[in-house]
Amino acid sequence: MSAPLLSVHDLKVHFDVSRKRLFGGGVPAIVKAVDGVTFDLKPGETLGLVGESGCGKSTLGRAVLRLLPLKGGRAVWLGQDLAKLDTHAMRSLRREMQIIFQDPLASLNPRMTVGQIIAEPLTTFQPNLSADEVKARVKAMMAKVGLLPNQVNRYPHEFSGGQCQRIGIARAIINNPRLIVCDEPVSALDVSIQAQIVNLLMDLQKEMGMSLIFISHNLAIVRHISHRVMVLYLGKVMEIADRDSLYKNPLHPYTQALNSAVPVPDPDIEQSKARIVLKGDLPSPLNPPSGCPFRTRCPRATEICAQEMPELVAAGPDHMVACHHAGPIS
């Protein structure tokens, strides 16, 4: 068994959103966006992060790259605690860890050509490369992600959303990183283009051996690309398991509700399958429920759920769940 590339233990990211009053004082308020998340990521593995908006998926992805300050816990990269590294040491590791953003066009500098955008990581981390070497690598990378090398001098606004995301992917992988955080990289794209981008990421992963943290609301896409899947709710892990176990035998009521919403291509099966409809909305992260955060919407909630937050415990090989009443759908 290979050692983890990234080990995250009890990671916490809190935001102070206190409102100050005109004549002093204020109302203290803390948002616990990520509250005690633990997981390992192996080399070449894809971990899918799923959950409703506001559950802390993107915050977690940015926190492991140290783009956000940690309130507590550790993110360990190949034995190095990222929180303990100074700016210079962290800058050196940036070459190994990159991110692909949700909005393809907004993540690209409109004043830079495609060639300049893709070349920027090379000039930053490999300043010894000659101009000809940089140009050759940029054109080779453009071809690899499905762009025409003769488009190198065009600007982002001249491309479609799918093409802009290919530019973003090329920029992220041109230095051969070992980890890519994909922050909802296909949510802004048409369905047909989504499949192309996901397949491109899978092909690049197979070729380059990089690990992915793939964040998405689309459980069908997460199932297609991921090796393991982690379900978040109000900053806490509800369930984490290998892909097949999580989709075929989900044990947490929240995972079961999310899974029931995944469309099935067969219209007869889709029409006849049972759906689990959750009541109410996601609670405010400023005032989360006591005990289990999911209890206010959970059909299995009992008194103990309001009193104690369930621990994340093993429920099978490579399958962990945090629920007092975990089990298959009855």
Domains and CATH numbers, the chain: 6-20+27-96+178-321 (3.40.50.300), 114-176 (no CATH)
Tens digit of pLDDT for each residue in 160-207?
Answer: 999 999 999 999 999 999 999 999 999 989 888 999 999 999 999 999
Is the pLDDT confidence value at 218 over 90?
no
**H or E stretch covering 303:** helix 303-307
pLDDT per residue as tens digits for the range 71-125: 999 999 998 999 899 988 898 899 999 999 999 899 999 999 999 999 999 999 9
Question: Which residues does residue 77 pair with via DSSP β-bridges, in sequence order?
Answer: 6, 80
User: CB of 112 within 8 A of CB of 159?
Assistant: no
Cα–Cα dist 215/219, whole Å: 10
- The whole-number pLDDT of residue 24 equals 59
Which of 305, 286, 285 is closest to 296 using CA atoms? Answer: 305
Measured distance CA(254)–CA(232) in Å, rounded = 9
Give the number of C-alpha atoms closer than 13 A to the C-alpha of residue 47, restricted to the C-beta side: 27
pTM of the predicted model as reported, rounded to 2 decimal places:
0.92
270 has pLDDT over 90: no
CA 76 to chain centre: 17
Query: Both tokens of residue 91?
Result: 């800058």
Indicate the pLDDT class of residue 280, thresholds 50, 70 and 90: confident
Report the 10 Å Cβ neighbour count for 227: 18
Which stretches within 53-210 are classed as H helix?
57-64, 87-93, 114-125, 131-144, 161-173, 191-208
What single-letter amino acid sits at 19? R
Q: H/E element holding 100? A: strand 97-100
Going by pLDDT thresholds of 50, 70 and 90, the confidence category of residue 1 is: low
- What local confidence, expressed as pLDDT, does residue 131 receive? 94
